[in-house]
Amino acid sequence: MGLRAYLKRLIKKIKGQELRIEELVELFEELKAQGILQSSVVEIIQSILELSDRQIEEIMVPRIDMVYISSDATLKDAVKVYRKRGFSKLPVVKERTDNVIGILYIKELLKHLDELESLKVADLAKPVHYIPYSKKILDTLKEMQKKHISIAIVVDEFGSVAGLVTLEDILEEIVGEIYEEFDKEEVLIRELEDGSFLVNAKVDLYEASEKLGVELESEEVNTLGGYIIENLERVPEVGEKFVIGPLEFEVIDSTQQRIKELKVRVLKKEE
């Protein structure tokens, strides 16, 4: 029986039923056992299915890392932020950073280039979509696709802003799951021949402190990437070098919203 025919029969069989992840995994294991699916494909599917058990707070951009703009700012100010940071969507806040009243889309701004100084950001802000930080990743993906939303503000149990998530973040997480299936033993800190370290920015601060032999502490963030953004108060660009305390950093890879990989050198006291 071909894969298409098997899946059609499978869908007909389970239609209308609520299946747990474990049951779906068993079904795909059956496909593998019958030679219908390759082992690697089954592992990828299982990894993606497991995302349905993970919450959106695990992949959101924390509030401390968010780049936003005041509702009172002019469109000219927004252009400056865009040129400096490159974001195509900006949360619009009023009076305080946890009061997000809308989203400014740069594509909307481009329609008003002759009114950069006369129009305020609030004039073009679109309604904001809120999601609870406990919402599952795959459920969030489905909701965003259904409602044609590309960015959402994440709120905690008290309704306060916890962070933001974009459709790109979720898709990147899914792609990341696929890549990680082929690299189960992910090394977050690797020492190089010159004595420096290649570091994944998502490494825990405690682990980074141990491996690098320095003391890194923060009451606000848990990862090395978050620690850097907290100190710089911005997301550094690829190729940028800077020093924080006893460490010299060079950004190897980053996105508009987060640092991904760094080269780190522990400075000697005389440096």
Average pLDDT over residues 12-34: 55
Looking at 90-94, 131-135, 188-192, 267-271, which range is the least confident one?
267-271
- pLDDT at 106 > cutoff 90: no
The whole-number pLDDT of residue 170 equals: 83
The whole-number pLDDT of residue 15 equals: 42
226-267 pLDDT, tens digit each: 899 989 988 899 999 999 999 999 999 987 778 999 999 999
Q: The tokens 């890549």 sit on which residue?
A: 179
- pLDDT at 8 > cutoff 90: no
10 Å Cβ neighbour count for 247? 21
Higher pLDDT, 17 or 38: 38
Q: Mapped to the 3 state alphabet, what secondary structure does the chain carry?
A: CCHHHHHHHHHHHHCCCCCCHHHHHHHHHHHHHCCCCCHHHHHHHHHHHHHHHCEHHHCCEEHHHCCCEECCCEHHHHHHHHHHHCCCEEEEEECEEEEEEEEEEHHHHHHHHHHCCCCEHHHHCECCCEEECCCEHHHHHHHHHHCCCCEEEEECCCCCEEEEEEHHHHHHHHHHHHHHHCCCCCCCEEECCCCCEEEECCCEHHHHHHHHCCCCCCCCCCEHHHHHHHHHCCCCCCCCEEEECCEEEEEEEECCCCEEEEEEEECCCCC
Q: What does the alpha-carbon distance between residue 99 and residue 89 come to, in Å, rounded to a whole number?
A: 16
Rounded to the nearest 5°, which phi and psi values hold at 130? -105, 145
Instruction: Kindly indicate the confidence band of residue 74, based on its pLDDT and cuts at 50, 70 and 90.
Output: very high
The whole-number pLDDT of residue 189 equals: 93
Task: Provide the mean pLDDT of the chain.
Answer: 81
Instruction: Kindly indicate the confidence band of residue 63, based on its pLDDT and cuts at 50, 70 and 90.
Output: confident
Share above pLDDT 70 across residues of the chain, in percent, rounded to a whole number: 75
Query: Of 52-61, 69-78, 161-170, 254-263, which one has max mean pLDDT?
Result: 69-78
Higher pLDDT, 169 or 140: 140
